[in-house]
Amino acid sequence: MNKVLRRKLDTKIARYIAFCIAICSVFILTTFKINEYQSFGWMLGVISCSMWAYWGWQDRSQEGYGRFLMEITYVILGIWGIYNWYG
C-alpha cells in the first residue's frame, strides 16, 4: 500500500474516532447533571475539537483554515466549560 493511500485511510479512521468522541461528549453533556461528569463531557469535547482543528490546520485550503478557526474557538470555550463546572 503506498504512503498517500495509507495516510488517507489512517486519517479517515481517526476522523470517525473524533466523531465518536464528539457524540459521547454531547451525550454526557445532555444527560448527566453531576459536575464531574459534566467536566468529563467538556474534556471529551476539547479532545475532539483539537483533533478536528489539527486536520483543519493540515488542510491548506481556505475551508481548512476556516474550520481550524472554528474548532479553536470551540476548544477555548470547552476549556472554559471545564473550568466553569469545576468552579
On average, the pLDDT of the chain sits at 82
What is the reported pTM? 0.78
- Which are the contacts of 39, defined by CB distance < 8 A and separation ≥ 6? 81, 82, 85, 86
- Number of domains comprising the chain: 1
Tell me if 76 sits within 8 A of 66, measured CB to CB. Answer: no
Mean pLDDT of 75-80: 86
Asked if the model's pLDDT at residue 63 lies above 60, the reply is: yes
pLDDT recorded at residue 23: 93
The residue range of the domain holding 46 is 3-86
Asked if the model's pLDDT at residue 44 lies above 90, the reply is: yes
